[in-house]
Chain A
Amino acid sequence: MSELPPTTSVRRWLVTTNHKDIGILYLITALFFLLFGGVLALLIRLQLWDPTSQILSGLAYNEAVTAHGMIMVFWFLSPFAFAFGNYVVPLQIGADDLAFPRLNAVSYWLYLFSGVLLAISFFQGGTLTAGWTMYAPLNVPMYTPSIGSTGAILALTMFIVGVTASTVNFLTSIHHSRAEGMGIMDMPLFTWSILATVWMMLFAFAALLGALLILGSDRVLGSVYFSATEGGSLLWGHLWWFFGHPEVYIVFFPALGVMLELFQTFSGRRIVGRKWVIIAICLIAVQSFLVWMHHMFLTTINLEIKTLMMATTIGISLPFDLIVFSLIYTLMKGRIQFTTPFLFAFGALLLFILGGITGVFLGAIVLDYEFRGTYWVVAHFHYVMFGGATALVGAIYYWFPKMTGKMYDEFLGKLHFAAFFIGFNAVYFSMFLAWETPRRVFEYDPALQIFHQVGTVGAFILGFSFLIMFYNLAKSFVSGPDAGENPWDYSRTAEWAVSSPPPLENWPNRPSYASGKLEFVKDYVPDGGPAVRADEDGNAATDGGDNHADHIREYAHWDEHPSHASIWPFSLSLATGIMFLGLSGFNDSISIGAADSLATTPVTISNPVYPVLAVIGLLGVVYSGVKWGLEDFYAPPTEFAERWPFNGVEKVKLGMWFFLASDVLVFGAFISAAVFIRYNAGWQEWAPLTESLPGLVNTFVLLTSSFTVILALVAAHRNSRKGLLASLGTTIVLGLTFLAIKMWEWHHEIYDVGVTIAENSHGPPIQASIYYVTTGLHGVHVVGGLLIAGFLFYRAYHGAYMNDDRPIEYFGLYWHFVDIVWVFLFPLFYLF
């Protein structure tokens, strides 16, 4: 553990794990990507100025379109929202920080470095040109051969790994660290929106991670999933939109939360029908997973499914109706203050109403048939997604005083809004008028030119409006008036009860809502024992944060100071980035010849740069991971917290559960892919590629290893070091046995039978791809588990875990999960 350097030091920003610092890093990085994606958008608009112009070549235009979509949806919208999520959510729930501060830093750095990878991909022979939806098979190397295409896909994969970490972190924090007295229904609505968002992210992004791992395998390892005519294209469509539709709400919900928050603050009213709004939010989060095929009405899905999807689509619009009406009625009878943040939030509502109405058009299938692939869709989703993000722009102004302690310039803020709103409608409403233009083309009907020209002018106004904002924020940061702790008349949430910016550990004393309102409570420590709650009259309870001049925490029971700095998140993420960069050119740098066995296989390396980078990155990942594990980093547990519905579940265990839930979806994507392709190819057409005996033996080996992990836990519980080492050692040996059998089996298949990842003498090549890739993913999980087991063994050898067997228990959860997955894979690949 190292001390956190001051904010003026560059080192501070590399090592910080504090949620507020990371929130600011997210904000600055997201705004950078807004500029990046925005410049690409302006290139697109320039090309559209003239129906025949060719500023960009066809391929360069496709690069711009693809990268614009990917950057805005992934690298801008969600991280922009989670800048505020990071900064504000712990404050709103009365926590000191997120549950896993180092993990939070990893999420950020993976985000940043994945963005760097995407930027690099432009220089690797051109970035991806398959559109942000990456429809198959345009997304496989046969049609998009550049290294940069692989680079962009790997960049997105890396981004999602970071998102998954962040998701687990937020879920654990919100479910585990709410201040005493803050029940789940009492949470501020911004926090509620983030909670619903991360629940959707947990499953949606996991499915996308599965899809991208398969795609990555197609591109790097040479499997043939998405070029398979046995349903490969449709498989991508399903996987993509199973993620893609919840994604719409994932980017929209935080903005909605900002609207709900700001409407209350700037009208002095409490939200109308609060309970119903929360219920609507939860309903949408669940329903979002049931509508994805409405993006595929023109594929070959049948009428029954179309009808079902139409019904669920209409179903999901209804809770939104309720929320919109609630927002409108909240303003009535209020005292509305037209500050800059309110204008943006209110503008977002108007834009969203338009986006919603035009969305109902798309819900009618006959209209959808014609709107499919046209600018109607483009206009609609910009009104919804960027319309929502308008509220997030308001959030910058709303929380800027909290983050910096300075007030922004109100006139410049309103000027920004005026230019933004005019530009926004000029660029996107004109798209409705030019709706017959097919998406992603630049040669269009000259009769529509006037609309596209209005759009181009609007896009530049929209773009330049942000320069006003940057000037305003920079000027205000340097010389703006002091904002004080609470510049708003009618704010309610806890972030306004502490100084601006808040102290490192947020609170003067422990925040509690036990009395029905926020109080800061001093806890006693009798005889060095555990802390107890203050009396109802609370000696040191301060009201509304009047007295927080002293930033010194008085948690007497903290014999250890919480940590806020670690370099390993940065190092781990940088190494991951280098590894992914190496992988992007791996396939183009190495060629593997035919041979009789592994030992005699000729491997030709045409370009050593990429393989070397991959190896360096991998070593860096392992090294950083070990150093991370050995680092003494203290993130104090929250002593008194509201945890419904996870009362009594320890923090790390809860995090593990969430992680495994997302991993279920990753494997779910792989197994669904296997089943979907096989169903399309004709179920009975395929017989297992391999003999069932090795699989059967391996099933017993793995199940036995699950048993030895339980023995390890028992031994640790009984403080038996020998027993722990013996059972952990057995687990490792069994795991290695599993891998050895697996290797023998693969070796036999490849060199004796002649079944490789893209060739199959028994059936279609896709069958071989599915076998290797799915069991391979499981194998990677086993290897990961063995690395952790080895680490635990090393620590146990040095006497760890005798009084704290929890790490063994959590490893056990993971190991059991990997075993259970095998139980599903075994019949799929060895029996039927």
Chain B
Amino acid sequence: MIDPITLQQGTDWRAQAEVFDEIFFVFLTLGTIVGIIVVSYTLWNVYKYRDDGGEPDEDFDAPVVGELPTGQGGPKAKKLFLSFGLSAIVVISLVVYSYGLLLYVEDGPDTGDEGDIEITVEGYQFGWEYIYPNDHSQQNELVVPADQRIDLKITSRDVWHNFGSSDLRIKSDAIPGETSETWFSVSSEEVEEQGGEATYLVECFELCGSGHSAMKGQITVVPQDEWEEWYADTGNDSETENSSSVEGDLATPNLKASAAGGVST
């Protein structure tokens, strides 16, 4: 039985969405700057060195048919390597920077393993089944408490799916015979902001058959105490009751639950 404790969302507690947003912002900014510089520089030079019908420069050495290439290094090789070196530094430092954050995302925040809830997600054509530690299982809607690290063990019972929630910026392959992992956590502030119950859309990100487009589910985050009450009830609950109520919820899915950045702020 789980012994949930309320965790403080301190400075070293960052949701995947927050990490993603930070890296994405850095890459997008630098990528845009580099792109604009390179493209404008190229366009400007192409315009500058257009053939305007005038006399060629003295040092213009027109190629002729049938010549063999000479001077394999060619002119401007120094400039070539300078630009190459600069771009290499930008790219490598970007990746080294993002690698540090990858290590965090891989392991997740350290909670001392206390109070983490481990839930098995099993994909099937075309939906998701969530199996709780007490063997309670339900279809398509995952109900979890706020302020808690949720560990997902993801697999599939038929074909290759991909379990993902764009809002929470979590995603993992659901492969038959394999179990992949990811984690997430939603703060109680966020849950309050969304009116006491935060919902996030779950989609399948790997083509899995005719119902792939409609293979959507939902993650519902409720306050701690509410969840505990709900969870205690599930021990002797039958699956059908739950799934029918879930279907009712999903009839009018809230497609865009919240801005991703809001998860941890």
Contact of B99 among A138, A307, A350, A373 (CB under 8 A): A307
Evaluate contact between A329 and B79: CB separation under 8 angstroms: yes
Encoded as 1 (CB less than 8 Å from any B CB) or 0, chain A from 28 to 58 comes to 0000000000000000000000000000011
Give the complex CA separation of A182 and B68 in angstroms.
Answer: 8
Give the complex CA separation of A357 and B38 in angstroms.
Answer: 11
Evaluate contact between B177 and A230: CB separation under 8 angstroms: yes
A317 within 8 A of B: yes
- Please judge, given known A-B contacts A299-B178, A325-B83, A353-B38, whether A331 and B105 are in contact too, CB under 8 Å: no
List chain B residues, Cβ under 8 A from A264: 63
Q: How far is the CB of B221 from chain A (nearest CB, A)?
A: 19
Contact of B206 among A310, A373, A496 (CB under 8 A): A373
Q: How far is the CB of B199 from chain A (nearest CB, A)?
A: 14
List chain A residues, Cβ under 8 A from B6: none
Segment of A364-372, A388-396, A454-462 in the binding face: A364-372
Evaluate contact between A322 and B65: CB separation under 8 angstroms: no
B16, B51, B204, B211: most-surrounded residue (chain A CB, <10 A): B51
The interface size bin for chain A is: 35 or more
A336 within 8 A of B: yes
Give the complex CA separation of A493 and B65 in angstroms.
Answer: 6
Main SS at interface, chain B: mixed
Give the complex CA separation of A234 and B211 in angstroms.
Answer: 23
List chain A residues, Cβ under 8 A from B76: 272-273, 329, 332
Evaluate contact between A135 and B160: CB separation under 8 angstroms: yes
Give the complex CA separation of A129 and B67 in angstroms.
Answer: 51
Q: How far is the CB of B174 from chain A (nearest CB, A)?
A: 10
Evaluate contact between B203 and A438: CB separation under 8 angstroms: yes
Which B residues, 71 to 93, have Cβ-Cβ distances below 8 Å to chain A? Answer: 71-77, 79-81, 83-84, 87-88, 91-92
Encoded as 1 (CB less than 8 Å from any B CB) or 0, chain A from 131 to 153 comes to 10001111000010000000000
- Please judge, given known A-B contacts A325-B80, A545-B65, whether A336 and B46 are in contact too, CB under 8 Å: yes
Evaluate contact between A366 and B23: CB separation under 8 angstroms: yes
Contact of A276 among B65, B69, B80, B205 (CB under 8 A): B80
Q: How far is the CB of B36 from chain A (nearest CB, A)?
A: 10
Evaluate contact between A310 and B99: CB separation under 8 angstroms: yes
Q: How far is the CB of B130 from chain A (nearest CB, A)?
A: 19
Q: How far is the CB of A729 from chain B (nearest CB, A)?
A: 50
List chain B residues, Cβ under 8 A from A443: 213-214
Give the complex CA separation of A497 and B64 in angstroms.
Answer: 10
Give the complex CA separation of A364 and B30 in angstroms.
Answer: 14
User: Which residue of chain A is the closest to B98 with respect to CB atoms?
Assistant: A364
Give the complex CA separation of A350 and B46 in angstroms.
Answer: 12
Encoded as 1 (CB less than 8 Å from any A CB) or 0, chain B from 88 to 114 comes to 100110110011011101100000000
Contact of A298 among B62, B80, B91, B180 (CB under 8 A): B180
Evaluate contact between B213 and A517: CB separation under 8 angstroms: no
- Please judge, given known A-B contacts A274-B74, A350-B39, whether A366 and B162 are in contact too, CB under 8 Å: no
Evaluate contact between A62 and B212: CB separation under 8 angstroms: yes
Q: How far is the CB of A41 from chain B (nearest CB, A)?
A: 16
List chain A residues, Cβ under 8 A from B80: 272-273, 276, 322, 325-326, 329
User: Which residue of chain A is the closest to B167 with respect to CB atoms?
Assistant: A436
- Please judge, given known A-B contacts A276-B80, A353-B39, whether A360 and B212 are in contact too, CB under 8 Å: no
B133 within 8 A of A: no
List chain A residues, Cβ under 8 A from B172: 298
Contact of A299 among B27, B173, B205, B255 (CB under 8 A): B173
B5 within 8 A of A: no
Contact of A332 among B45, B91, B99, B158 (CB under 8 A): B45
A65, A228, A334, A491: most-surrounded residue (chain B CB, <10 A): A334
Q: How far is the CB of A541 from chain B (nearest CB, A)?
A: 12
- Please judge, given known A-B contacts A366-B23, A442-B213, A443-B214, whether A516 and B101 are in contact too, CB under 8 Å: no
A298, A303, A331: most-surrounded residue (chain B CB, <10 A): A298
List chain B residues, Cβ under 8 A from A272: 74-77, 80
A820 within 8 A of B: no
Q: How far is the CB of B153 from chain A (nearest CB, A)?
A: 11
Contact of B51 among A318, A336, A519 (CB under 8 A): A336
Evaluate contact between B45 and A300: CB separation under 8 angstroms: no
Evaluate contact between A446 and B74: CB separation under 8 angstroms: no
User: Which residue of chain B is the closest to A680 with respect to CB atoms?
Assistant: B177
Q: How far is the CB of B54 from chain A (nearest CB, A)?
A: 9
Evaluate contact between A486 and B65: CB separation under 8 angstroms: yes
Encoded as 1 (CB less than 8 Å from any A CB) or 0, chain B from 22 to 53 comes to 01100100010011001101100110011100
A445 within 8 A of B: yes
Evaluate contact between B94 and A364: CB separation under 8 angstroms: yes
Give the complex CA separation of A333 and B103 in angstroms.
Answer: 47
A275, A300, A493: most-surrounded residue (chain B CB, <10 A): A300
Evaluate contact between B102 and A365: CB separation under 8 angstroms: yes
List chain B residues, Cβ under 8 A from A329: 76, 79-80, 83
Give the complex CA separation of A135 and B176 in angstroms.
Answer: 12
B131 within 8 A of A: no
Contact of A338 among B20, B24, B50, B83 (CB under 8 A): B50
A696 within 8 A of B: no
List chain A residues, Cβ under 8 A from B71: 270, 274
List chain A residues, Cβ under 8 A from B64: 492, 517, 544
User: Which residue of chain A is the closest to B208 with respect to CB atoms?
Assistant: A138
B207 within 8 A of A: yes
Give the complex CA separation of A267 and B61 in angstroms.
Answer: 11
Evaluate contact between B160 and A233: CB separation under 8 angstroms: yes
A321 within 8 A of B: yes
Evaluate contact between B62 and A440: CB separation under 8 angstroms: no
Contact of B160 among A65, A137, A318, A494 (CB under 8 A): A137
B169 within 8 A of A: yes
Evaluate contact between B23 and A441: CB separation under 8 angstroms: no
Evaluate contact between B160 and A441: CB separation under 8 angstroms: no
Evaluate contact between A447 and B256: CB separation under 8 angstroms: yes
Give the complex CA separation of A92 and B213 in angstroms.
Answer: 49
Evaluate contact between B162 and A332: CB separation under 8 angstroms: no
List chain A residues, Cβ under 8 A from B46: 331, 336, 346
Evaluate contact between A274 and B95: CB separation under 8 angstroms: no
- Please judge, given known A-B contacts A336-B46, A367-B20, whether A321 and B51 are in contact too, CB under 8 Å: no
- Please judge, given known A-B contacts A366-B19, A489-B62, A496-B65, whether A58 and B211 are in contact too, CB under 8 Å: yes
B31, B95, B176, B212: most-surrounded residue (chain A CB, <10 A): B212
Give the complex CA separation of A133 and B178 in angstroms.
Answer: 19
Q: How far is the CB of B38 from chain A (nearest CB, A)?
A: 6
Which A residues, 83 to 140, have Cβ-Cβ distances below 8 Å to chain B? Answer: 129-131, 135-138
Q: How far is the CB of B220 from chain A (nearest CB, A)?
A: 19
A555 within 8 A of B: no
Q: How far is the CB of A223 from chain B (nearest CB, A)?
A: 17
User: Which residue of chain A is the closest to B126 with respect to CB atoms?
Assistant: A58
List chain B residues, Cβ under 8 A from A257: none
Contact of B74 among A270, A331, A357 (CB under 8 A): A270
Evaluate contact between A232 and B177: CB separation under 8 angstroms: yes
User: Which residue of chain A is the closest to B87 with respect to CB atoms?
Assistant: A321
B175 within 8 A of A: yes
A787 within 8 A of B: no
B56 within 8 A of A: yes
Encoded as 1 (CB less than 8 Å from any B CB) or 0, chain A from 254 to 274 comes to 000000000010011111111
Encoded as 1 (CB less than 8 Å from any B CB) or 0, chain A from 332 to 362 comes to 1111111000000010011001100110110
Give the complex CA separation of A446 and B23 in angstroms.
Answer: 26
List chain A residues, Cβ under 8 A from B206: 135, 373, 439
A381 within 8 A of B: no
Which A residues, 204 to 246, have Cβ-Cβ distances below 8 Å to chain B? Answer: 228-234
Q: List 18 A-B contacts (CB under 8 A).
A: A58-B210, A62-B207, A228-B177, A234-B178, A273-B77, A274-B71, A274-B73, A298-B162, A303-B106, A321-B87, A325-B83, A361-B27, A361-B31, A369-B20, A370-B171, A372-B162, A486-B65, A492-B67
Besides the known contacts A300-B179, A369-B171, 16 further A-B residue pairs in the complex with CB atoms under 8 A apart? A58-B209, A62-B212, A135-B160, A137-B159, A143-B159, A186-B68, A234-B178, A276-B81, A353-B39, A360-B95, A369-B20, A372-B162, A372-B205, A492-B67, A518-B65, A545-B65
Per CB-CB distance, the 3 closest pairs between chain A and chain B, nearest first, are A373-B205, A518-B66, A229-B177
